[in-house]
């Protein structure tokens, strides 16, 4: 068992005073404006001059915008969140250039989560209380769990979601003890009827969080559609819809955290498929169920928890025929429609559960890749 120093974010509910809420609203607006204007400048420079604008240049532009007539209000909030949003834009471009994401998009009020990041010189942390720059009172935070002993926050991010809830994410350096080496090795097959199936034969049921609230959500959406645009009643109806979506997301996230933690604790090596959830969700018949399953979030949790605790996650090629290959003799069947959940191999006669067989093949392919490095795509960074 060793020790690892990792950067870890702790997220808490935040209840700002009316003055703090007004100041945060102003900061969120300035952050959105700076991001959009910097994106517009970089977009114009490339398409009109074929010139790339660097992060340093946008930083200089920000200084000029604060002095311009009509945008002097950019000097009112702390400089940290405005500089942070320029860094985020640079990261978005880097991800686009390296083909990890699409082209950066403009932020629209009410369509994106309001957030502001404060660096170490833009907030104070004393006696377990955090005070943001240009605010007189410390924030009222619900400490649902304590920060690690001796941890000093390096940056904090304040956000407001569509439900009007405020959260604060506190980034600290933490020393985590890696888990003892485990003999467990498992393949994971993602599904809809069963959320995941393990190569051990165990199936984890799909809670279908969205289906539990589907009737309530539909009713709230119908009420929203009847309200006049721009009215106060429409704003109230929109809030009800957001609250239902939020409860669904909270339950899903909690379930995936518990599931991913269990898998990482019990297994030294975890093998998964490199699924393209976005493309799979284009199937109109399965889009709702696929989105509700949260496969992408589960993979993300498995990968970063494996990094924390000294485990290994291997992602095999999405085109590997795990379901159509016999895990006993390796025979590949020509076709296997989705409605066939159990099948018998013509060569060896073994009767397979479709999902368990796929999980066994996923594990075998992952271990082969781990040994010789062939036939699999590397995990996402």
Summarised one tens digit per residue, pLDDT across range 340-364 is 888 898 888 889 988 999 999 999 9
pTM (predicted TM-score): 0.84
Instruction: Return the pLDDT at 4.
Output: 85
Q: Is the predicted pLDDT of residue 157 greater than 90, yes or no?
A: yes
213 confidence band (pLDDT: 50, 70, 90): very high
Please tell me which residue in 114, 189, 292, 303 is annotated as part of the active site: 189
Mean local confidence (pLDDT), 55-65: 94
Structure tokens at 47: 């398409």
Structure tokens at 368: 């082969």
- Please tell me the distance from the alpha carbon of residue 350 to that of residue 332, in angstroms, as a whole number: 13
Structure tokens at 94: 């880097």
If we measure between CA atoms, which residue out of 278, 268, 276, 277 comes closest to residue 302? 268
261 with 298: CB under 8 angstroms? no
- What share of the chain has pLDDT > 70, as a percent? 97
In 231-330 the beta strands, taken as DSSP E runs, fall at 269-273, 312-316
* Residues ≥6 apart with Cβ < 8 Å to 186: 198, 199, 200, 263, 266, 267, 269, 270, 271, 359, 363
Q: Is the predicted pLDDT of residue 381 greater than 50, yes or no?
A: no
- Please tell me the distance from the alpha carbon of residue 26 to that of residue 23, in angstroms, as a whole number: 5
Structure tokens at 369: 């890749």
Q: Is the predicted pLDDT of residue 2 greater than 90, yes or no?
A: no
Q: Could you give the maximum distance between any two Cα atoms of the chain, in Å?
A: 80
Instruction: Return the pLDDT at 331.
Output: 86
Active-site residue, 292 included? no
Mean local confidence (pLDDT), 250-275: 94
Q: Is the predicted pLDDT of residue 251 greater than 80, yes or no?
A: yes
Per-residue pLDDT of 319-333, as tens digits, reads 888 888 898 888 888
267 with 186: CB under 8 angstroms? yes
Q: What is the mean pLDDT of the chain?
A: 90
- Please tell me the distance from the alpha carbon of residue 223 to that of residue 16, in angstroms, as a whole number: 30
Instruction: Return the pLDDT at 373.
Output: 57
Helix (H) or strand (E) holding 355: helix 354-372
- State the pairing for strand pair 3-14/141-142: antiparallel
Please tell me which residue in 114, 210, 273, 292 is annotated as part of the active site: 273
Q: Is the predicted pLDDT of residue 286 greater than 60, yes or no?
A: yes
Cα torsion angle, 268, 273, 279, 281, sign: negative
Considering only residues 285 and 117, tell me which one the structure prediction assigns the higher pLDDT. 117
Instruction: Return the pLDDT at 374.
Output: 52
Domain ranges within the chain, ordered by starting residue? 3-177, 185-205+252-372
Taking residue 111's Cβ as centre, other Cβ atoms within 10 Å add up to 9
If we measure between CA atoms, which residue out of 294, 289, 304 comes closest to residue 254? 294
Please tell me which residue in 114, 210, 292, 355 is annotated as part of the active site: 355
Mean local confidence (pLDDT), 94-107: 93
Per-residue pLDDT of 107-118, as tens digits, reads 998 888 899 999
Instruction: Work out the angle between the directed axes of helices 79-97 and 55-67 (0-180°, nearest 10).
Output: 150
37 with 200: CB under 8 angstroms? no
Q: Is the predicted pLDDT of residue 379 greater than 70, yes or no?
A: no
Q: Is the predicted pLDDT of residue 260 greater than 90, yes or no?
A: yes
Active-site residue, 355 included? yes
Q: Is the predicted pLDDT of residue 75 greater than 70, yes or no?
A: yes
If we measure between CA atoms, which residue out of 115, 117, 128, 129 comes closest to residue 154? 117
Mean local confidence (pLDDT), 164-170: 95
100 with 91: CB under 8 angstroms? no
Q: Which of 123-127, 167-171, 377-381 shows the lowest mean pLDDT across its residues? A: 377-381
If we measure between CA atoms, which residue out of 161, 378, 192 comes closest to residue 285? 192
Active-site residue, 273 included? yes
Instruction: Return the pLDDT at 267.
Output: 94
Taking residue 72's Cβ as centre, other Cβ atoms within 10 Å add up to 11
Instruction: Return the pLDDT at 285.
Output: 82
Q: Is the predicted pLDDT of residue 43 greater than 70, yes or no?
A: yes
Q: Whats the size of the chain, residue-wise?
A: 381
């Amino acid at each position: 068992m060793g020790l690892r120093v990792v950067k870890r974010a702790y997220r808490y509910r935040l209840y700002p005073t009316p003055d703090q809420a007004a100041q945060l609203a102003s900061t969120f607006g300035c952050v959105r404006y700076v991001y959009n204007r910097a994106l517009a400048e970089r977009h114009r420079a490339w398409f009109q001059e074929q010139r790339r604008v660097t992060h340093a240049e946008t930083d200089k532009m920000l200084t000029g915008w604060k002095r311009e007539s009509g945008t002097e209000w950019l000097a009112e909030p702390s400089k940290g969140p405005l500089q942070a949003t320029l860094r985020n834009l640079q990261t978005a471009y880097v991800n686009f250039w390296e083909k990890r994401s699409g082209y950066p998009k403009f932020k629209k009020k009410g369509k994106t989560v309001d957030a502001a990041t404060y660096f170490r010189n833009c907030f104070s942390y004393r006696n377990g209380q955090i005070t943001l720059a240009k605010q007189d009172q410390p924030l009222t935070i619900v400490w649902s769990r304590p920060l690690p002993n001796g941890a000093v926050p390096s940056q904090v991010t304040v956000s407001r979601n569509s439900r009007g809830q405020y959260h604060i994410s506190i980034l600290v350096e933490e020393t985590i003890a890696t888990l003892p080496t485990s003999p467990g090795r498992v393949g994971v097959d993602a599904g809809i009827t069963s959320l995941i199936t393990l190569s051990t034969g165990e199936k984890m049921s799909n809670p279908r969080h969205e289906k539990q609230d589907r009737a309530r959500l539909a009713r709230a959406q119908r009420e929203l559609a009847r309200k006049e645009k721009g009215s106060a009643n429409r704003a109230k109806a929109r809030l009800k819809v957001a609250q239902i979506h939020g409860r669904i997301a909270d339950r899903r996230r909690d379930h995936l955290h518990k599931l991913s933690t269990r898998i990482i604790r019990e297994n030294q090596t975890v093998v998964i498929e490199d699924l393209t959830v976005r493309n799979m969700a284009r199937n109109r018949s399965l889009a709702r169920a696929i989105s509700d399953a949260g496969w992408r979030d589960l993979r993300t949790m498995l990968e970063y928890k494996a990094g924390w605790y000294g485990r290994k996650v291997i992602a095999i090629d999405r085109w590997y025929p795990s379901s159509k290959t016999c895990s006993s003799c390796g025979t590949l069947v020509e076709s296997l429609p989705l409605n066939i959940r159990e099948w018998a191999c013509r060569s060896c006669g073994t009767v397979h559960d479709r999902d368990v067989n796929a999980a066994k093949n996923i594990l075998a392919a992952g271990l082969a890749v781990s040994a010789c490095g062939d036939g699999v795509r590397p995990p996402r960074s």
